[in-house]
Structure 1
Amino acid sequence: MSDITPEIRVPQRPYRTGPRFRMARTVVALMLREMATTYGRSAGGYIWAILEPVLGVTLLAIIFSMALAHPGLGTNFPLFYATGFLPFTMFNDLTNKVATSIRFSRPFLAYPSVTFIDTMVARVVLNALTHATVIGIVISGIFIIYQLPVVVDLVSVFEALLMITIFGVGVGTLNCYLLTAFPIWERTWQIVTRPLFLMSGVFFLYELMPAKAQAFLWYNPVLHCVGMLRHGIYPTYEASYVSPIYVVSISVILLFFGLLLLARNHRNLLER
């Protein structure tokens, strides 16, 4: 009898990536692609991402400092207009990026492992983090350059950024369907939202407006986001009109209908 024991081989299970990890890898890959496409492969793209809002705030501060004795809050013009211009820019850019996510990543959606949700999540995460970083750098720079006392409510600032992100995602998701299904909607949306820059509290405080204007402007969610950010930056500004529940409710409704329309029609949209 032979003393050699036969070798028993245990079949190895093939490595499988779970759905969560597969989605995470896809989202990261899409984020890296957009970073290379939008901001370039060098630091110059991100430097311009900071310089562009800085130039915008500087222009507003110079123009209004020549016409007004003091800004709506405090005594520093750049800080006041930064707290209005930067959150509006974040909302506007985030909305546009989410709205064009299917069109931007159309070649990758031909792969079964890539879904329209992946493309939207990638753009939301990348652009929200980019704008939040820019807002932090610009406002911190204003505090340092002008030697302003730093009394910031970080919880309110974070809440404002979260409100902007949620509302931008809600509007962008619904626009993603409308823009892809009806190309004319892109131009229509640009025309409709042009007055939004003047209606979002970038140049003024809600409390200083006439009662009739307040009753109308209150329904603008961006105005609430701007007010919440200023509440976090200016310790004496109460911004009692701000309603995070209202902003989140509108955002969830828009997100729900946007995802519902995309889930039912995204295959047809890819063929357009």
Structure 2
Amino acid sequence: MTDQPQQDLLDQDGMRARKFRTGRTMFALMMREMSTSYGRSPGGYAWAILEPVLALAVLSTIFSFVMRSPAIGDSFPLFYATGYLPFMLFNDVANKTSTALNHSRPLLRYPAVTFIDALMARALLHLLTHTLVAYIVFFGIAIVLDLQISPDYTQIAISYLMGGLLGFGVGCFNCYVMMSFPVWERMWQILTRPLIFISGLFFPYETMPQFAQDILWWNPLIHVVGFLRKGIYAPGYTGDYLSLIFPILTALILLGLGLLLLWRNHQSLLEG
């Protein structure tokens, strides 16, 4: 009878040790990812901020010549930032997660590093990076252009968490498919190129023809972008078409399927 409490304490200590080890492993993987992604290029981490700023400057300049004002609000940079930044969040998290196991293949030979550690570390780093970039870009635009905005931070957080979860789900599923069928990596890049045009970056959902709305509502990124615009342009932009359940359900289905397939096959995929 006296052995049971001691066994329970040992089990609890072992669980805490595993959690601590997982945290240390993910932190080490994130530091490694930072050095490999940004540390080897001139400018380093600054490019994470400069790249979207330059892209927004180009988009704003081009469209200002053909349009008097953006579809929402009065600022071209702010309007395109609300479309471009969440799209790049999804795209970056999905692409980085899909190549996480190949990227960390040598480290996965060690028992302390699991395939889930590699997936989560890469996705979390790029989610945090894009969140920081969005904070800097939006406040920079508001200060430089002297814009009077009253953002709804709850809606903004929903957009970024939804975009990150969707990118992670797509990335986990693609990680299995790309490792099983390497040609899928190139096909995925080709098939997803039109996403930048059909995700509401340039034209809000409400301004599209009805037949386009009926089709594009099923694009989860339409909702990710819409929630961010609802947060930035609050309270004027309502986004009546937005769904919270559909993008999250899509992300969870892909995430569950991807993790299940990787759990059953990651060893053979890494050895292949």
TM-score of the superposed pair, with normalisation by structure 1: 0.93
Q: State the Cα deviation string for residues 221-268 of structure 1 (Å, max 9, x = none).
A: 011000000000001000111111111100010001000100010001
Are the counterparts in 1 of residues 70 and 79 from structure 2 also a CA contact under 8 Å? yes
Kindly state the Cα deviation for residue 132 of structure 1 after the two structures are TM-superposed: 0.5
Quick one: distance in 1 between partners of 2:253 and 2:26?
25
Query: Corresponding residue for 1:126?
Result: 125
Query: Corresponding residue for 1:138?
Result: 137
- The secondary structure found in structure 2 opposite 1:247 is helix
Where do 1:140-179 residues align within 5 Å?
140-179=139-178
Quick one: distance in 2 between partners of 1:98 and 1:185?
15
Quick one: distance in 2 between partners of 1:208 and 1:261?
40
Kindly state the Cα deviation for residue 83 of structure 1 after the two structures are TM-superposed: 0.5
Q: State the Cα deviation string for residues 136-157 of structure 1 (Å, max 9, x = none).
A: 1001100000100131000100
Quick one: distance in 2 between partners of 1:186 and 1:94?
15
Kindly state the Cα deviation for residue 117 of structure 1 after the two structures are TM-superposed: 0.2
The runs of at least 4 consecutive aligned structure 1 residues that moved more than 6 Å come to none
Does residue 247 of structure 1 match 2:233? no
Quick one: distance in 2 between partners of 1:22 and 1:126?
18
Kindly state the Cα deviation for residue 42 of structure 1 after the two structures are TM-superposed: 9.3
Query: Corresponding residue for 2:58?
Result: 59
Query: Corresponding residue for 1:5?
Result: none
What is the letter of the counterpart of residue 19 of structure 1?
A: R
Quick one: distance in 2 between partners of 1:19 and 1:49?
33
Kindly state the Cα deviation for residue 41 of structure 1 after the two structures are TM-superposed: 7.3
Kindly state the Cα deviation for residue 43 of structure 1 after the two structures are TM-superposed: 9.3
RMSD, aligned CA:
1.6
Does residue 228 of structure 1 match 2:224? no
Quick one: distance in 2 between partners of 1:43 and 1:189?
29
Kindly state the Cα deviation for residue 60 of structure 1 after the two structures are TM-superposed: 0.5
Quick one: distance in 1 between partners of 2:96 and 2:47?
18
Determine what percentage of the aligned residue pairs are the same residue.
Answer: 52
Where do 1:58-207 residues align within 5 Å?
58-207=57-206
Q: State the Cα deviation string for residues 79-110 of structure 1 (Å, max 9, x = none).
A: 00010011101110110000000000000000
- The secondary structure found in structure 2 opposite 1:240 is coil
Answer with 1 or 2: which has the greater Rg. 1
Query: Corresponding residue for 2:265?
Result: 265
Aligned residues: 259
Q: State the Cα deviation string for residues 46-65 of structure 1 (Å, max 9, x = none).
A: 11110000000111000000
Are the counterparts in 2 of residues 200 and 222 from structure 1 also a CA contact under 8 Å? yes
Q: State the Cα deviation string for residues 198-227 of structure 1 (Å, max 9, x = none).
A: 000000010011110000000000110000
* Structure 1 gaps, min length 5: 1-12
- The secondary structure found in structure 2 opposite 1:199 is coil
- The secondary structure found in structure 2 opposite 1:18 is helix
| Distance change >3 Å, CA 43–CA 23, structure 1 → 2 | farther
Quick one: distance in 2 between partners of 1:94 and 1:136?
18
What is the letter of the counterpart of residue 223 of structure 2?
A: H
What is the letter of the counterpart of residue 249 of structure 1?
A: L
Quick one: distance in 1 between partners of 2:114 and 2:196?
33
- The secondary structure found in structure 2 opposite 1:122 is helix
Query: Corresponding residue for 2:238?
Result: 238
Query: Corresponding residue for 2:3?
Result: none
What is the letter of the counterpart of residue 215 of structure 1?
A: D
TM-score of the superposed pair, with normalisation by structure 2: 0.93
Quick one: distance in 2 between partners of 1:203 and 1:47?
26
Are the counterparts in 1 of residues 149 and 233 from structure 2 also a CA contact under 8 Å? no
What is the letter of the counterpart of residue 165 of structure 2?
A: I
Quick one: distance in 2 between partners of 1:188 and 1:41?
28
Are the counterparts in 2 of residues 174 and 258 from structure 1 also a CA contact under 8 Å? yes
Are the counterparts in 2 of residues 35 and 41 from structure 1 also a CA contact under 8 Å? no
